[in-house]
Structure 1
Amino acid sequence: MTAATASRPHIPVLLDEVVAALAPAPGETHVDGTFGAGGYTKAILEKGAARVFAFDRDPEAIGAGETLAASSGGRLTLVPERFSRMRQALSARDVEDVDGVTLDIGVSSMQLDQAERGFSFQADGPLDMRMGRDGQSAADFVNTADEAEIAEVLFHYGEEPKARRVAKAIVAARPIERTGELAEVVRKALGHHPGMKKDPATRTFQAIRIHVNEELKELEGGLAAAEQVLKPGGRLAVVTFHSLEDRIVKRFLKSRSGALPAGSRHLPAANETGPAPTFEAVAKAVRPGAAETEANPRARSATLRAALRTSAPSWASVSTEGKSR
């Protein structure tokens, strides 16, 4: 990491709006499911929350948060876990319900800014992209998956219209070990010139990152977990950064509030004989204003969705381990 990158401030997106949706109050217990640089956690603590459980699967984020935890007087507990496992992790700490849950989905600024993490094509680094530093890396995927699988990942997770062309170019160029190499392969396959508004590699990098980290599956599991741990009247606030994520959150809240008649395998529909709505007061989507996007360009695609937990029992769901509960 360069000195310039290390000193760059990491600005939490829609911070005021998230805090307003969570409405943290003295004595309450909250979950920050995506600790990152700790922006939301700090704000929740400043509002007087008695306890904050901050989750992050990235060991670097957990390590960087130790100073804040040490200065919190025991109010902040760092949890090195995926947020989809918040129910199990809280139960292990004798916490059965909480007053608020916030999730900030996707890659963090810290991860993007470190070339050695391999998330960005803006600076050359090893092709890694793993948030938790375990499992299959991006290099493992692009160098071992067949052309059809790569094309499917690029199409579904990156919404890349020329996924087959890019996949064919990736297979032909293997082995690919660096972010710079992959970016050049994609640019050459799609055509690129300096005046283009969006780098052609953007969709491919997004897709591979989502696939390697199972981000959409994690989001689905996290929403179900939040439903289970929030007490009646508890607040949920979720910030997403692209349409795939936002679609999942929007559909979840519509379904769980009884506003969505048609279900899916992940989000079954409410009906007269089915489960009662578990969320209400679903707020209109909030997006950053001009001042915030000017100060923090990464905020431009953010969307906040929030809702209140009802007293109804949580719906039956499938855990991240694949077992019904």
Structure 2
Amino acid sequence: MDVIIVVHTEFGFVHAREVIPDKNATEGVSKGVPNLIKVADRHGAKVTFAVMPEVVGAFPRDINHEVGLHIHPGWEEFWQSGFTFHVGDKYLREHCHQSSTSTVLRGYPYKEQLDMIQTGSDCITESLGVRPTTFVAGKWSIDNNTVRALISAGVERDCSAPAHSRPCHYDWSKLPRICMPYRPSEHDYQEKGDLPLLIVPISQMFHAGNVNPEVVPQVGLSWLKACFTEYYSQRMPLFHICLHSPCMTDPYFLSVMDEFLGFIAQHRNINFRFASEVHEYAPVNPSTRVVPYLLGLNRNILGLGWKAAFKKIF
């Protein structure tokens, strides 16, 4: 099994075990990135950092891990846990024409999406010395125009897909919960085709939810381990972990990530990869295996209940 770790690299801090994406909290990058690297190196893991253009000044240089591109378009104010913050990218807002303040990429026309992707890629190339070939959309939101723009900009892999889900800001509902990398169709990014872009869905827990250390306060670490066991027991070729860099400034989440990677690394035939090393795999026919989750039941899940846990995960 290949295992990848893809990080939405952005400013922010942790409050009450929640990530608050505050633009003034540069330690979300300057400290979060090296903290995660230390944990990953301890287990021989590789990390792909999808970097927002606005944070390149705080991003550490000369790291032995991969750099990709992460784009939050627009500029809007949000409120969470008593904090007010803005979502968007200052650099892109200043250097690109954006016809909207929307933070959802799929709401922009093709030319504006292409401009943001190319401008962001140029910024990372000039600042960090590497041309990103892996992409993550803010809020996991893409459409057919995004696929066209990524291909035109020379991006080879998209890691934006929380499979089998459809909240208001993105749609990946056509993908099965356990979904391996595929090349999209020209007419529908959720259908298999032959375009020169590989979509790499995020691994999903039962019955929904990204494999992400940030959800452990809601569902417990045993639930993430159960998901890995479900994939591993069926010999799934890929397991995809996602997270946001600010969570790696917090001792609790660092401990969670350390234990989770240690658990994964103890299994046989595990290969930690960069996202750029992921490819299409032989067809698989997975099924839902409930036993690992029954063994992983914990007071977080039992206390919240299924519906509440589902809402927290997203």
Shared topology, TM-score over 0.5?
no
More strand by share: 2
Whose helix proportion is higher, 1 or 2? 1
Structure with greater contact order relative to length (CA < 8 Å, sep ≥ 6) = 2
Give 1 or 2 for the bigger CA radius of gyration: 1
TM-score by length of 1: 0.31
